Amino acid sequence: MDAMGAAFSGPLMYLLVVWGVVTAVFLLLIAWRSVLSSHEDDQIFIDAAQEHMAREQRELIKKIESLGKPLMMSGITSGVLLLVIAGGVRVPRPEEFLGAGAATRGAHGFGGVAAGSCVAGAAACEACTSEV
């Protein structure tokens, strides 16, 4: 398995799937609230004959307000899952990116470097100055 495949396997993969589902629900709720809000009128001047329009607007406002708690919960859950996933991702070492031969290149992946020119800043890094 390659380095990136190993980073996203096991429980982390399940967390990514759950995060994707929760985030999709969150985005759908936002879209649904937007659709409902587009039908809401800011001001209505209704006489007694058009009471049904006022009733429809009150029902619409109730629907919009009822989406508040699910929206907040799904947004918070999505954010928390994203933080958990970000904390659980193991960043591969440079040797894993460079391939199998990188282990023979020294501790920093740059074996055979002249003394005093170690990329880590050490004056004479034994791992980098040793012959490969």
Determine what percent of the chain is predicted with pLDDT higher than 70. 56
Q: What is the mean pLDDT of the chain?
A: 74
What local confidence, expressed as pLDDT, does residue 68 receive? 92
Range with the largest mean pLDDT of 7-16, 43-52, 56-65, 84-93 = 56-65
Task: Judge whether residue 106 has pLDDT over 60.
Answer: no
- For residue range 48-82, list pLDDT tens digits in order: 767 777 788 888 889 989 999 999 999 999 999 99
What local confidence, expressed as pLDDT, does residue 4 receive? 59
> Residue 125 — left, alpha, or beta (φ > 0 → left; ψ -120 to 50 → alpha)?
beta
Q: Give how far the C-alpha of residue 90 lies from the chain's centroid of Cα atoms, to the nearest Å.
A: 15
Rounded to 5, what percent of the chain is helix, strand, coil? 65, 0, 35
First to last CA, the chain: 27
Other CB atoms within 10 Å distance of the CB of residue 128: 23
pTM of the model: 0.58
Give the confidence band of 8 by pLDDT, cuts at 50, 70, 90.
low
Report the C-alpha gap between 128 and 8 in whole angstroms.
31
